[in-house]
């Protein structure tokens, strides 16, 4: 049978198949490599290729690493100064249960950012749930920050300038108006989000846990401190609301 004749999977009926995963008896999941294909770093030496990338290890015990993207710059001589580039640290999406720093979709997106902004981009590979439930991913990302500090502490005053929340994965026990409106959505219904949170939150936690609902138990002083440090924030969403 031609794939063209196979009806699309309804996430309300089979959310596991919709996102290309199979639950296993031991609580782990098997991820379909076709759902989010991966690719090797771009080490093309051609001058026409604008971005070079390579993988660097972070923590071999936890199998965490990062893919480093570097824009190709004109060569400089003794008469010119080296070009300083901004640094963007990128944490890939995937609801904490799938995706990788090697995912082709993310590589294309980051390559465009590095080329357009002319910035060095570090895309982090972190541990995934449910094999490693939250806060494992947060711990891995925090470790990357500590690793970076030890490597660049001589570059003082290096400061964080901003935070971009690109379609952040927030939620809560109480349904929002957009969730109620999209209850039977064929792309991302609330039932699919429920499954994702069930797979990544700590055992026994509901969607009002601080990892899912940051407005619960929020520490306003932390936000004030970020404001004093001059951080800029950008939040992107969809259909009039954060998703």
240 versus 135: the higher-pLDDT residue is 135
Instruction: Tokens 């070009």: give the residue.
Output: 83
Which domains does the chain show, CATH number per domain? 37-168 (3.40.50.1820)
Instruction: Tokens 């001058």: give the residue.
Output: 47
Say whether pLDDT at 46 is over 80. Answer: no
Q: How far is CA 214 from CA 14, 22, 54, 177, in A?
A: 29, 29, 34, 18
Say whether pLDDT at 154 is over 70. Answer: no
50 versus 57: the higher-pLDDT residue is 57
* Reported pTM: 0.83
Whether 167 and 237 have beta carbons less than 8 Å apart is answered as yes
Q: What confidence tens digit (pLDDT) does each residue in 208-242 have? A: 998 999 877 777 777 788 778 777 777 766 554 44
Q: What is the rounded CA–CA span in Å between residue 82 and residue 210?
A: 43
The residues, any chain, with a CB within 8 Å of residue 157's CB and separated by 6 or more, are none
Question: Mean pLDDT, the chain, as a whole number?
Answer: 84
Say whether pLDDT at 77 is over 90. Answer: no
- pLDDT band, very low/low/confident/very high, at 114 (cuts 50, 70, 90): very high
Q: What confidence tens digit (pLDDT) does each residue in 1-18 have? A: 344 555 678 888 899 999
- The secondary structure element, H or E, covering residue 64 is strand 64-71
């Amino acid at each position: 049978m031609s794939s063209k004749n196979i009806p699309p999977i309804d996430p309300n009926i089979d959310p596991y198949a919709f996102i290309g995963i199979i639950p296993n008896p031991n609580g782990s999941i098997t991820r379909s490599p076709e759902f989010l294909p991966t690719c090797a770093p771009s080490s093309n030496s051609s001058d026409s290729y604008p971005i070079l990338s390579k993988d660097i290890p972070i923590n071999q015990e936890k199998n965490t690493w990062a893919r480093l993207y570097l824009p190709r710059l004109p060569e400089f001589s003794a008469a010119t100064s080296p070009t300083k580039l901004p640094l963007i640290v990128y944490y890939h999406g995937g609801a904490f249960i799938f995706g990788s720093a090697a995912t082709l979709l993310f590589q294309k997106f980051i390559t465009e950012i590095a080329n357009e902004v002319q910035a060095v981009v570090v895309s982090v590979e972190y541990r995934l749930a449910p094999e490693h439930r939250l806060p494992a991913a947060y711990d891995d990302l925090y470790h990357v920050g500590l690793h970076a500090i030890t490597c660049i502490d001589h570059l003082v005053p290096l400061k964080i300038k901003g935070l971009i929340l690109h379609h952040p994965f927030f939620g809560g026990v109480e349904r929002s108006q957009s969730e109620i409106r999209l209850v039977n959505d064929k792309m991302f219904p609330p039932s699919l989000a429920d499954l994702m949170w069930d797979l990544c939150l700590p055992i026994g936690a509901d969607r009002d846990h601080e990892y899912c609902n940051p407005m619960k138990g929020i520490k306003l002083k932390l936000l004030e401190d970020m404001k004093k440090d001059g951080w800029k924030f950008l939040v992107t969403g969809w259909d009039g609301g954060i998703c």
